[in-house]
């Protein structure tokens, strides 16, 4: 294992749609192909890109989100996820300085500054020539705390176009580290919430990552990009056992089995979640509600993350045996933590198809995208969150549930400014549309394992 301090580089862009996912994923895969151990990261609450990063690098794709986990955990999480790696490649989110609308928190620029990492700007240069110099000058000078160290020209049109753009970058004082031509065949299928997940895309996802790797290896100077990377700053390393507390992870006694849903319908999870569950004393078993007819043997707690159940509603409904087991587990009072897609799975029905029937609500697709960070307070104590707990979370869905929350014998889970109370709490069940990051809420993980025990 490599014991040297990993170096980090951040790939950002002036705006969404610039192609940074293709370039970032291709860079990770191209470096891994030649034997470099790459630690892949994504800024923000994105669940989809890390799946492609995992395929590219062969290590778990992880998220770095100061809003969800706090600024003090960004460095420790990066050092944890980079252990044994030579270089950490961090893909940004939206434009370089875009974050939470109110104050820009959670931006790629903030994460780069927290890591002391240089930024390589991926610019979609279609329709540009010398104006690139002004764009680069602006991004270099806007925030002196952010080091923009180079540029990758994306979607160039011709060798002459590259010459003109390179001269423009020289005017701005930035080296060109690559010039990637337009390749329409590398467009990964998308849907209402972004890319199709790697788990759903199957072999085609692997083929897409391979194509990205070949494209980047041919048109980007890999050595030059790596040379811009700087060692991560010294500091503490995130430790899941320390986060949940040693008392929560007994060395002896029965370890409760926590089933975590996964597969194509429930792929919105964080790598740190399973690490925290195990550190808190649980055995973690995966269950795919599309294929598995029963919960893992001995299951005493269940985590249902987000995903795209609405895209797989017929298959989920057809798996009546598992739906019945989930309902029975909830009825027995076992802790069940469901977020977004997991909430929909617990409803009576989703788009007219029978689901688990745990909650007195129905789910349906809508035309409205609900998206953004939420500063939420727990209205009802549960197996996961104590009453009055304050968390930073994120919503990301086009579905709605009726009622919104807290109906019948259930109580509402959350409230936040300008929003009606939402979600459901009853006995051991906590279900809502709010996504939370377990690394930002380790006490919630410890509570769930304790309830399962």
Task: Tell me the C-alpha distance between 336 and 303, whole Å.
Answer: 6
Q: Residue 271 is encoded by which pair of tokens? A: 């790598």
Q: Residue 101 is encoded by which pair of tokens? A: 């609308």
* Closest to 65 in 3D by CA, of 436, 390, 446, 404: 436
**Collapsed DSSP state (helix, strand, coil) of residue 367:** strand
- Non-local (6+) Cβ contacts of 117 within 8 A are 8, 9, 10, 88, 90, 229, 230, 232
Task: Tell me the C-alpha distance between 280 and 449, whole Å.
Answer: 7
* Closest to 428 in 3D by CA, of 448, 409, 446, 444: 448
Cα distance from N-terminal residue to C-terminal residue, the chain: 36
Note whether 390 and 380 are within 8 A (CB).
no
340 catalytically annotated: yes
DSSP 153: E
* Closest to 401 in 3D by CA, of 449, 445, 336, 338: 338
Q: Which residues are catalytic?
A: 340
């Amino acid at each position: 294992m490599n014991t040297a301090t990993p170096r980090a580089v951040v790939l950002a862009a002036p705006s969404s749609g610039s192609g940074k996912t293709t370039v970032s994923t291709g860079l990770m895969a191209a470096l891994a192909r030649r034997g470099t151990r790459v630690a892949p990261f994504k800024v923000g609450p994105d669940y989809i890109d890390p799946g492609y990063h995992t395929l590219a690098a062969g290590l778990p794709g992880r998220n770095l989100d100061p809003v969800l986990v706090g600024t003090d955990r960004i460095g420790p999480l990066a050092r944890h996820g980079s252990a044994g790696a030579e270089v950490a490649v961090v893909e940004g989110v939206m434009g370089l300085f875009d974050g939470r609308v109110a104050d820009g928190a959670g931006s790629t620029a903030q994460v780069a500054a927290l890591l002391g990492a240089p930024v390589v700007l991926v610019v979609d240069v279609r329709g540009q020539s010398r104006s690139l110099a002004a764009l680069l000058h602006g991004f270099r000078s806007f925030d002196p705390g952010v080091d923009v160290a180079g540029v990758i020209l994306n979607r160039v049109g011709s060798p002459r176009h590259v010459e003109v753009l390179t001269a423009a970058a020289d005017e701005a004082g930035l080296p060109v580290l690559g010039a990637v031509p337009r390749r329409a065949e590398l467009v990964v299928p998308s849907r209402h919430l972004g890319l199709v997940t790697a788990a759903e895309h199957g072999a085609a996802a692997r083929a897409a990552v391979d194509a990205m790797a070949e494209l980047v290896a041919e048109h980007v100077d890999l050595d030059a990009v790596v040379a811009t990377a700087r060692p991560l700053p010294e500091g503490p390393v995130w430790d899941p056992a320390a986060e949940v507390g040693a008392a929560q992870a007994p060395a002896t006694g029965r370890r409760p089995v926590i089933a975590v849903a996964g597969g194509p319908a429930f792929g919105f999870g964080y790598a740190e979640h399973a690490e925290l569950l195990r550190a808190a004393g649980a055995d973690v078993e995966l269950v795919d509600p599309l294929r598995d007819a029963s919960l893992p043997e001995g299951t005493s707690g269940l985590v249902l993350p987000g995903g795209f159940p609405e895209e797989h509603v017929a298959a989920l409904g057809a798996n009546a045996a598992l739906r019945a087991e989930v309902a029975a587990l909830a009825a027995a009072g076992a802790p069940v933590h469901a977020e977004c897609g997991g909430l929909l799975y617990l409803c009576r029905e989703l788009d007219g198809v029978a689901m688990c029937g745990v909650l007195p609500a129905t789910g349906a697709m809508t035309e409205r995208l609900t998206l953004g960070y939420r500063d939420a307070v727990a209205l009802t104590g549960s197996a996961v969150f104590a009453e009055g707990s304050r968390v930073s979370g994120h919503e990301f869905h086009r579905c709605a549930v009726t009622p919104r929350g807290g109906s019948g014998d259930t109580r509402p889970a959350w409230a936040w400014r300008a929003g009606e109370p939402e979600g459901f709490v009853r006995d051991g069940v906590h279900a809502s549309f709010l996504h939370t990051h377990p690394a930002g809420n380790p006490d919630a993980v410890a509570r769930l394992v304790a309830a399962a025990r």
